[in-house]
Homo-oligomer: A and B are copies of this chain.
């Protein structure tokens, strides 16, 4: 989460662990109250009952702090087996949409992505903390569908990975775009249509390389 700058952290007073969690909670609370652009380090420090120094000892800047504060929320997403690929997709899409409704996620996610376009370390942190961690959902869903026989078994592993990535970008992208850019509700109808599109299209993608 936050890196130790000193090579040997045996000596000296150890960092307070409560401070870490208090800061992250305070960051999320500040995001809810103020949104990304009005959130200040001083305010977060104040809410956490901590000095600004303590924040900067742990995170290099506002962006990295917010990524860490928000990343954990994405771990709530899970993929219970609902018996069909389509049901699994609909479930995870609704979960993801609910997550994007929360003000701390809504305001923070696009902001850090925007910052990351000019900040490679931040981009890496986002990828590691959020993006790559959630690809598991696509992998699990696809494997399960293969076990059920809804999808053909793997042939070329690179093709499989490329398709996984595509599905991930399509689902995540479509939901984000619907919720934040188009600013329309992600409701049952829309989700049904999206999953129909995906399930129907996956066959066509699979036969592409042949």
Contacts and interface: CB of A to CB of B under 8 A. Distances in A.
Interface of A is mostly: helix
Contacts of A208: 192-193, 196
Interface stretch (A1-9, A141-149, A167-175): A167-175
Given A174-B169, A204-B199, A205-B193, A180 B35 contact: no
A193 B176 CA distance: 20
Contacts of A77: none
Interface string A155-199: 000000011011011101111111011111000011011101111
Contacts of A196: 201, 204-205, 208
A180 B37 contact: no
A181 B112 CA distance: 10
B110 A183 contact: no
Nearest to A126: B181
23 contacts: A36-B115, A37-B114, A107-B114, A107-B118, A108-B114, A111-B111, A114-B114, A123-B183, A127-B182, A163-B193, A165-B182, A166-B190, A169-B177, A170-B174, A170-B197, A172-B173, A172-B181, A173-B175, A173-B177, A173-B181, A192-B208, A193-B205, A200-B201
